[in-house]
A = this chain, B = another copy of it.
Amino acid sequence: MANIETFPNPKRERPYLITHINAEFTSVCPKTGLPDFATVTVKYVPDELCLELKSLKYYFLEFRSKGIFYEDVTNVILDDLVEACKPLEMEVITEWGVRGGISSIIQAGYVKSENS
């Protein structure tokens, strides 16, 4: 997996919200082998670390030839980014193009537990 770089949160004493929106995400359907297209939104409250934007871009690019379901992509991104920057809270939203007349949205969230 691509190395997701981080940098020290410049204002750790104040909880605040960061949102990154990637309208050019693409992965591959594991059933048909055809590409899927999505807008991926990452929202998080940083703790000690912030996600570095350029390495985030390269991280998203790794899904370009990966066969993976919508539900799985969303949870994998959430797990990877939580592990990378250990935020106080994070939400990942993926909005997928029309397939068979149906468009889909998946939303998953994480909140740091008090004693972790």
28 interchain pairs, CB-CB under 8 A: A9-B71, A10-B69, A10-B75, A14-B75, A14-B78, A16-B71, A16-B74, A16-B106, A17-B105, A17-B108, A18-B71, A18-B104, A18-B105, A18-B106, A19-B105, A19-B106, A23-B37, A23-B97, A24-B37, A34-B61, A35-B64, A50-B71, A53-B100, A53-B104, A57-B100, A57-B102, A60-B101, A97-B101
- Chain B neighbourhood of A104, CB < 8 A: 18-21, 53
How far does the alpha carbon of A26 sit from the alpha carbon of B75 in the complex, in Å? 25
> What band does the interface of chain A fall in when counting residues whose beta carbon is under 8 Å from B?
35 or more
| From B23, B24, B53, contact of A35 by CB (8 A) | B24
How many copies of this chain? 10
Q: Which residues of A, 89-116, contact B by the 8 Å Cβ criterion?
A: 97-110
Partner of A16, one of B7, B17, B34, B107: B107
> From A107, which residue of chain B is reached at the shortest CB distance?
B17
Closest 4 CB pairs of A and B: A16-B108, A19-B105, A11-B75, A57-B100
Tell me if B71 and A24 are in contact (CB < 8 A): no
